[in-house]
Structure formats: structure tokens, C-alpha cells
Amino acid sequence: MIVLGIETSCDETAVSVLDINGPENIKVLSNIVSSQIKLHAEFGGVVPNLAAREHVKNIAQVFETALKTAGITDFKKEIDLISVTHGPGLGPALLIGIAFAKTIAMIHDKPLIGTNHMRGHVYSNWLNPDFKAHETIFPILNLVVSGGHTELVLMNDYEDFKLIGETMDDAVGEAFDKVARLLELGYPGGPAISKRAEHFLVSSLQPSIEFPRPMIHSKDYNFSFSGLKTAVLYKIRDLKKESVEINNEVTNEIAHAFQKAAVDVLIKKTFKAVAEYGVSSVMLSGGVSANSFLRSEFQRVANEQRLQYSYPPLIYTGDNATMIALAGYLAYSKNPNNASWKSVDMNANLSF
């Protein structure tokens, strides 16, 4: 099946074309992502209406490039299915992708699937060449970490997702972004914090700062990151009161201490759930899964416990339409009914 994916839930306008013949036979023919990061950086975060306006400006061009790169010359003949993100995300941004997808589905009389963005992130693991989809992998415990979400999701089969824990306040990516702002590292903050923390780790300096690990011992699988962000705020304030200059070295150490606290909580809770639910596979996904410290801790504990593990290839950790095409294909394979432009609606708060 040739599947077209469309993603506009946040600040990336993305279109992909995939040739898929079952979950273990996926060929990416094109993966075009036009990022608006630079535009939103000056506001310190994504501005929904501005994101929507940029999607309108870019989507037709991104679509044309995706088709051209994939070698599609006759849309009507060659495309079998269209999948578009219909939530969760920023309402005005989502609507642009949905309106575009509905229009081409209607004109070309193609089936259209509304796809859950977070399921897309989970399925980005199927794009990892080291991950063997044909093995007995289910049940899988998924740690999904992005700018808007921090979720532990148990997956018993394709399309069978059960949310077992989530953040009570800020998402972990949001905490990275807010701490980066406190440290004046710009937007988005995740990559900057990660780089600064790495500088600290290779410096062989002894850590002198320790931050709290909120909810690490709670009996449930929920998270909280807002208190950790506040602890960083207070630490910076106290250091300034003591006339300590927040120079590069201090910034690196704070970044490391924050990252370590956040990753400790994520890892501890994930592997506690692994034990309780008796799963033998664990997966990481979402924008924050690009974090190298999180990846290496995740891999280390999974290896210790002899679990099958996976994370997405780096190019698919952030928002992209390849994961949306794949998720749409898997949903359509399970239930091809109602795959019509008439039945796709936006749901900004869609859950798993």
C-alpha cells in the first residue's frame, strides 16, 4: 500500500509517502519536514495562530516535494490511503492539515484516516531497523515523552493501547524547555540542556547540586515535573543571592543535575511498571527520546533486565509525517470502515 501521511499538530509542517506491506515491511519513499522553530524561538514557545499561518503558507509546497521525492506522478492511481494527525495538538495548527487532507481525499476519492499523534510517536519505533516487529513483542511498555506529554502506555497488540500513568502537571519536554529558559539557553530547550549536561559529564567535575525527584516513590505511575522546574528556579535565585555568577560551568552543572533528576524519575517508574505488568519489551518515543542520557540509561537498565528494547531513529524522534502514515496504515488494517474524509474531525485533546 502506498500511504500519504500529513502532520501539522505543532510547529512542523510534514508530509511523507510510505510503501507499506505489513508492520515489518515499511519503506519510506519520502519524509519532508518544514520546521518553524526559528519563527517561534523569539516568543520562547510555539504560538498557535502563527503556527497555523505558517502551515497554510507551507503545506502545498511540502506536499508537492513529498510526492516528487517519492516519485509519485499520478496521485489518483498511485496513492492508496491518506493519514492525517487529528489530535492531540494545537487546534488552529491541526485544522490546517485536516482541511488539506480532507480536500485531497475528496478530490481524489481516497480513504482518509484521522490519526492520533501520540500513537504515531509510539509507532516511530517500527522505523528502527534494529527493532524486529515480527518477534513476539507484545505486551510492550511505552514511555512516551514529548513537549506536551509524558505517558506510560501498555500496548497489548497493534491498536490496543492502555494508559497507565501520565504527568499531573508539566510534560517532561516542557520542563526541559522551561529550565532552558531559566538558564537563558533559548528555545527549544531540550537539545540545549542535553548538550550542556554532556559538557558537565565530560568535565570530570564532582556534582555539587542535587534536585528533587518528584513522585519517584509514589505508588502509581504518574509523574510531576513542575516542582523540579521550580527547584531549578530557586537554585538559580539562591546562587545569585550568594553572588555566584551563572557562568558556563554553573549552567552546565545545573543542566546536568536537572536532566539527571528528570531521567531518574522516568527510568524508575518505567521499570517499576515493567515488573508489575510482566512485559518483556520496552520502548521509548517522542521528542525527548532524542536525549542521549535518557537513551543510554534506558538501554542500560533494559540490558540489565534482559528486556527487548527500542527507541526511534533520531530523525523520527521529533514530529514527522512518516510515523503518522504508518500509524494510519496500522489503524486502517485493523478497521478499514469509515475511512472517509466525511468522518475525520479535529480533537485537540485526544488521548491514547
Which stretches of the chain bind ligand KG4, using CB under 6 A?
10, 146-148, 173-174, 176-177, 188-191, 194, 286-288, 290-291, 318-319
Q: Which alpha helices (DSSP H) does the chain contain, by range?
A: 37-41, 48-70, 75-78, 91-108, 117-123, 172-182, 189-202, 226-241, 248-277, 292-304, 322-334
Q: By C-beta, is 110 or 119 nearer to Zn ion?
A: 119
Report the helix count and the strand count for the chain, using DSSP H and E.
11, 10
Asked if omega into 23 is within 30° of 0 (cis), the reply is no
Stretch 299-338 residues interacting with Zn ion (CB under 5 A):
319
Q: By C-beta, is 147 or 165 nearer to ligand KG4?
A: 147
* Residue 7 interacting entry, from ligand KG4, Zn ion, none, C-beta within 5 to 8 Å by type: none
Q: Three-state DSSP class for 43?
A: coil
- Residue 70's φ and ψ, nearest 5 degrees, are -80, -10
Q: Count of CB atoms within 10 A of residue 248's CB?
A: 11
CB of 176 to ligand KG4, least distance (A): 4
Q: How far apart are alpha carbons 311 and 280 in whole angstroms?
A: 15
Which of the ranges 55-63, 140-148, 157-165, 301-309 carries the binding residues for Zn ion, by CB under 5 A?
140-148
Amino acid code (one letter) for 268: K
* Residue 97 interacting entry, from Zn ion, ligand KG4, none, C-beta within 5 to 8 Å by type: none
Q: By C-beta, is 8 or 291 nearer to ligand KG4?
A: 291
Strand order in the sheet with 112-116: 26-35, 12-20, 2-7, 81-87, 112-116
CB of 204 to ligand KG4, least distance (A): 22
CB of 293 to ligand KG4, least distance (A): 8
CB of 277 to ligand KG4, least distance (A): 24
Q: Three-state DSSP class for 286?
A: coil
C-alpha dihedral, 96 to 99 to 105 to 107, nearest 10°: -120
Q: By C-beta, is 177 or 319 nearer to Zn ion?
A: 319
Binding residue (CB under 5 A) for Zn ion from 16, 146, 150, 167: 146
CB of 178 to ligand KG4, least distance (A): 9
Q: By C-beta, is 67 or 327 nearer to ligand KG4?
A: 327
Stretch 74-133 residues interacting with Zn ion (CB under 5 A):
none
Please, what is the angle between helix 189-202 and helix 172-182, to 10°? Answer: 70
Q: How far apart are alpha carbons 298 and 310 in whole angstroms?
A: 9
Which of the ranges 55-63, 102-110, 144-152, 335-343 carries the binding residues for Zn ion, by CB under 5 A?
144-152
* Residue 188 interacting entry, from Zn ion, ligand KG4, none, C-beta within 5 to 8 Å by type: ligand KG4
Q: By C-beta, is 102 or 295 nearer to ligand KG4?
A: 295
Amino acid code (one letter) for 147: G
Q: By C-beta, is 176 or 221 nearer to ligand KG4?
A: 176
CB of 192 to ligand KG4, least distance (A): 8
CB of 139 to ligand KG4, least distance (A): 23
Q: How many residues bind Zn ion (CB under 5 A)?
A: 2
Region label for 318, one of left (φ > 0), alpha (ψ between -120 and 50) or beta (otherwise): beta
Q: By C-beta, is 11 or 253 nearer to Zn ion?
A: 11
C-alpha radius of gyration, the chain, whole number: 21
* Residue 148 interacting entry, from ligand KG4, Zn ion, none, C-beta within 5 to 8 Å by type: ligand KG4
Per-residue cell: 317: 524522534
